[in-house]
Amino acid sequence: MAFTITMPQLGETVTEGTILAWVKQIGEYVAEDDILVELSTDKVDTEIPSPASGVLVEILVPAGTTVEVGTPLAILDDDGQTATEDRSTVDSQQPPAEEQLTVDSRQPTAGDHPAVETTVSPASSVQQVSAEKTARRGVLSPVVRKLAAEHNIDVAMVPGTGDGGRITRKDIEAFIAARRVSPAPDATQTSATPASVVRPSAPRPSDSVRPGDVREIPRLRARIAENLVQAKQSAAHVWTSVEVDYERVASVRARHGDTFKTSEGFSLTYLPFIARATMDALAAYPAVYSLFDIGAGTQSFPRDVHLGIAVDLDQAGLVVANVRNADSMTLKGLARAIRSVATDARAGNLGPDDLAGFSFSITNPGPFGSFMSVPIIPSPTAAILSTDTVVKKPVVVELPDGSDGLAIHHIGYLGLSWDHRVFDGSTAVLFLKRIKENLETWDWEQELS
């Protein structure tokens, strides 16, 4: 009986996808959950497992074609006899496991001498079996090639768990994760980083791109380019900024940083403080997170506030990961959620719905050393906040006797790119002022208790 495989619904916001490559070919047996095809959406590239078993008898949509959700992609023949015969033929070509530990070492001679059976060592037997069963190892999908290139991975070093030793996306992700857990020691970096300074990961080696190189634009880069040009053209961009005295936040981080890292497993940065202060400001000025549809003539105010966090993918691109219901989270809850989505984004574990549906977003170039940034508003939202570097500066403070004095405080800037179609300058300034006052005056000790 024939079974038609259709373009799946990969997320609530996904309406179409592009066929990147067919992992299985016509005539091949496909087991249920085997990777069948690789798809690209406007959010992510993903491998699609087969929902059924059978022989792939027809491919209806060639690679490179964009189709809508529900479009028939391929046909499987799940007839028991056909599938069994196909699988039996494949299995019969493989010697039993016990026999794979020996090889026939007979050499061609003029006489008819009996064969000499020689037992080989386990290491060489593994090499022998591997050579016989990895005919498809060199078949790399676009997703695998992209991940390997982005992370400078020699695919020859990656164990393949796919059919015939093929290297899958999960194999690359596991290799990346293992490398991060056990990084090679760097003899040039021996000094400890101060607790108040957040260092970005080191850039990829400069020799990965050589002068004169011409390379194909990665799909992620192309999607970013298309989305940002569309966003820039569809919104009336305006930018406003304020200076923030982070001394109160810095003092709390200094007192609780070690305890927090011990209990949570990661450092307490400025970002969750800013996110927490921002959630309060959004509640006071809901126009900032409203959805503006000039075509329909409506402005809607979502019941829950989902926060988008811009995540840098080791300079290979940028995605905005969605922290759902951020308005109901505590400071610690926001810290955990931001850490979680950032880790999943860099590991390639986020689906289309994890990269869409946010009401407001924050981009955080500060750890890289930015002074002031003017980000593009991601469509269809009305604003995005930029958090820049926090540094120590001399500031004028009021002394207990009412006179002025100088002190060294942690100072930084917050910038808001906002859509002038949706609200006006007074709302933008008051919104930023609310965040500033929250950061400078809140009892952050209570937030961490």
Q: Is 80 helix (H, G, I), strand (E, B) or coil?
A: helix
What's the mean pLDDT when you consider all of the chain?
80
What does pTM read for this prediction? 0.66
Q: Given this model, what pLDDT does residue 14 score?
A: 76
Q: Given this model, what pLDDT does residue 30 score?
A: 87
Longest dimension (CA), the chain: 112
Report the pLDDT averaged over residues 402-412: 96
Q: Given this model, what pLDDT does residue 213 score?
A: 86
Lookup: tokens for 221: 């880069």
Please state, as a whole number, how many other Cβ atoms lie within 10 Å of the Cβ of residue 261: 13
pLDDT band at 334 (very low <50, low <70, confident <90, very high): very high
Q: What is the DSSP letter of 36?
A: E
Which CATH number applies to 2-80: 3.10.105.10, 3.40.980.10, 2.40.50.100, 3.30.1280.10?
2.40.50.100
Q: What is the pLDDT of residues 156-185, one digit of tens each?
A: 778 877 766 778 777 887 787 776 655 443
Q: Is the pLDDT of residue 110 over 70?
A: no
Q: Given this model, what pLDDT does residue 347 score?
A: 87
Q: Given this model, what pLDDT does residue 87 score?
A: 44
Report the pLDDT averaged over residues 439-449: 92
Report the pLDDT averaged over residues 180-209: 42
Cα gap 352→362, rounded to integer Å: 19
Cα gap 166→255, rounded to integer Å: 50
Query: What is 130-183's CATH number?
Result: 4.10.320.10
Report the pLDDT averaged over residues 396-405: 93
Cα gap 5→74, rounded to integer Å: 5
Q: Where are the beta strands (DSSP E) in 140-247?
A: 237-245
Q: What is the pLDDT of residues 309-333, one digit of tens each?
A: 999 998 888 999 999 999 999 999 9
Higher confidence at residue 25 or residue 181? 25
Q: Is 311 helix (H, G, I), strand (E, B) or coil?
A: strand
Query: Where are the chain's structural domains?
Result: 2-80, 130-183, 236-448
Paired strand residues for 45: 40
Active-site positions read: 420, 424
Q: What is the pLDDT of residues 52-109, one digit of tens each?
A: 888 999 999 998 888 888 899 999 987 644 444 444 444 444 444 333 333 333 344 3
Q: Given this model, what pLDDT does residue 404 score?
A: 94
pLDDT band at 16 (very low <50, low <70, confident <90, very high): confident
Higher confidence at residue 275 or residue 140? 275
Q: Which CATH architecture has domain 236-448?
A: 2-Layer Sandwich (3.30)
Q: Is the pLDDT of residue 49 over 50?
A: yes
Q: Given this model, what pLDDT does residue 207 score?
A: 46
Q: Given this model, what pLDDT does residue 43 score?
A: 67
Q: Given this model, what pLDDT does residue 202 score?
A: 42
Lookup: tokens for 193: 């980083």
Q: In what order do the strands lie in the sheet with 16-22?
A: 45-49, 35-40, 16-22, 66-68
- Chain-centroid distance, C-alpha 133: 32
pLDDT above 90 covers a percentage of the chain that reads 47
Minimum mean pLDDT among 79-93, 361-375, 378-392: which range? 79-93
For 50-65, give the secondary structure using H, E and C.
CCCCEEEEEECCCCCC
Q: Given this model, what pLDDT does residue 167 score?
A: 80
